[in-house]
Structure 1
Amino acid sequence: MNRLPLSLLALVLTALPVACQSRPAEPARPTAQPGTPLDNHSIKVRGASEVLELHLDPAFPTLKRADLNKLERFIAAYRDRGHGPLRMVMPENGASPQLAVEAIKVARELAWEKGVAWDEISGSVYEADGRQAPILLTFDVYEAVAPDCRSMAAFDLSDISGNNELGNFGCSVRHNLAQMIADPADLLAERELDPRDSRRVSIIMEAYRQGQPTGATGGEENVSISNVGGGGGG
């Protein structure tokens, strides 16, 4: 029986692990989607502008009732979700300069009556070149952009080899949430809080220590009792 020299045998044994490792390893199948559903289906925020055009009619000395209704709704929208100043733009060198000045005056006064402070209103002009041009009101808003959810038909529901969550998981929830957000600007930063009423806080804390009600209470004259369905007569 022929025997291999010890040096040759050692060389063969050393080369075996190298030969086994020379085969490229198969990539491991991911066990979960990267990130969380909130990360994978985030709600984006984009800026936009709301614009109202109020056309001037030389036959009327001021804004029409229909225009005033539009203006009231526009101001209410600004109070609800507007950001930055309420901009009022007046035509310059237009066909009815006095009417434009009067319309801006009415718009400013109505905005103030509806709760818009004077320092929240800004004004500017644009060239009308002699035309009967409208006055413009505009303010900035933010819009929520919902994630684009893929159809469930795009996924193989029978594939259980990786035990992964579907790529669409959580998308519909985020899509619906984007439609319900009152002011998408809240997704960008927290709102500033109003100054705390220290005196009111002290009153509430003192009432709490004494075991008294901490909420506002009304007198007996503010209490109404309904006798609908009750008996009685005479």
Structure 2
Amino acid sequence: MSDALLNIVPRLSVVAVLAAALMAGCAKRDSITVGAIPDDYRTNHPIVISERDKKIDIPVGASDTGLSRVQRVALDGFVANYDRAVGPVVTMMVPYGSANQSAASIVAADMAKRLRAAGVPEGRVLYQQYEAARYGDAAPIRLIYAEMAASTGQCGRWPEDMLANAENKHWANFGCSYQNNLAAQVANPADFLGPRKPSEIDAARRGISIDDYRARESIWTPEVDINW
């Protein structure tokens, strides 16, 4: 091998190593860039567990003399998911200065009795009055208590034209309604944080199931189409 050829071989090796290093660097950079673009509806619209106020406004007529059937149904639905173990304060905002002020006071007392019967601890109902002259003859009683709830962000975000998408990525609002519906349907928001502790095994039920499995007979009847 000539001296000129010997000088060329090391140079080619150095060039090859540099080219491979540059290609590896580009590949790594592109991977980071692409991976940083969120394209998952669960990332774009995450379900968040937080404390929020649950509210209800129950109208009261000026001639009401107690808690009506419609008001009872609304109150029972409002307090159905009340966490009796935690016992958050239930704030009752009663109208003052309106035409139904007297009736609202009577209805509020009946509501407090029904709330205690539903499991709200004694002393956890807080009375407040609010100026309600502008609400007319049927100013409502507002009930509020804090609860843990699952929710997502506001839907309806369209920051850009959904058709101008050369990369075939999800549009901004994709999956938002699904996440909202899922968050609203789950009864216990803690289920989003992790699985529950398994319950105890029903030994009697397990024994019956195993016996039924062992005692069953599997009969196989072959079907042959003779006209084939």
> Quick one: distance in 1 between partners of 2:172 and 2:93?
48
Shift of 1:30: 2.3
Is residue 2:179 matched to residue 1:177?
Answer: yes
Structure 1 residues 192, 137: closer, same or farther in 2, change over 3 A? farther
* Paired residue secondary structure (1:119): coil
Between Structure 1 and Structure 2, the one with more helix by share is 2
Residue of 127, 143, 153 corresponding to 1:145:
153
> Quick one: distance in 2 between partners of 1:129 and 1:39?
44
Q: What letter corresponds to residue 64 of structure 2 in structure 1?
A: F
* Paired residue secondary structure (2:54): strand
Could you tell me which residue of structure 2 aligns to residue 89 of structure 1? 92
> Quick one: distance in 2 between partners of 1:170 and 1:97?
48
CA deviation map 1:124-151 (0-9, x unaligned): 1224579797532123453332674764
Structure 1 segments of 4+ aligned residues over 6 angstroms from their partners: 81-84, 92-98, 129-133
Could you tell me which residue of structure 2 aligns to residue 208 of structure 1? 209
* Paired residue secondary structure (2:202): helix
What is the 5 A alignment of 1:22-171? 30-31=30-31, 32-34=34-36, 37=40, 40-45=43-48, 47-63=51-67, 65=68, 68-79=69-80, 85=88, 87-91=90-94, 99-111=103-115, 116-119=118-121, 122-128=124-130, 134-140=140-146, 142=149, 143-145=151-153, 148=157, 151-156=161-166, 166-168=168-170
Shift of 1:100: 4.4
> Quick one: distance in 1 between partners of 2:39 and 2:108?
51
For structure 1, which runs of at least 5 residues remain unmatched after alignment?
1-8, 158-165, 213-234
Structure 1 residues 91, 108: closer, same or farther in 2, change over 3 A? closer
Could you tell me which residue of structure 2 aligns to residue 222 of structure 1? none
* Preserved CA contact (<8 Å) 1:86 1:120: no
The two structures, once aligned, show a CA RMSD in angstroms of 5.2
Identical-pair percentage = 9
TM-score by length of 2: 0.50
Q: What is the number of residues matched between the two proteins?
A: 184
* Preserved CA contact (<8 Å) 2:94 2:108: no
Shift of 1:201: 1.2
Between Structure 1 and Structure 2, whose CA radius of gyration is higher? 1
Q: What letter corresponds to residue 41 of structure 1 in structure 2?
A: N
* Paired residue secondary structure (2:145): strand
> Quick one: distance in 2 between partners of 1:136 and 1:191?
35
> Quick one: distance in 2 between partners of 1:60 and 1:51?
22
For structure 2, which runs of at least 5 residues remain unmatched after alignment?
1-6, 214-228
* Paired residue secondary structure (1:124): strand
* Preserved CA contact (<8 Å) 1:37 1:169: no
> Quick one: distance in 2 between partners of 1:56 and 1:129?
15
Could you tell me which residue of structure 2 aligns to residue 189 of structure 1? 193
* Preserved CA contact (<8 Å) 2:162 2:171: no
Shift of 1:156: 1.5
CA deviation map 1:149-182 (0-9, x unaligned): 764323125xxxxxxxx43179734542332331
* Preserved CA contact (<8 Å) 1:49 1:140: yes
Structure 1 residues 55, 190: closer, same or farther in 2, change over 3 A? same
> Quick one: distance in 1 between partners of 2:46 and 2:141?
35
Structure 1 residues 55, 121: closer, same or farther in 2, change over 3 A? farther
CA deviation map 1:161-218 (0-9, x unaligned): xxxxx4317973454233233148347534866x94x5x8132123234438xxxxxx
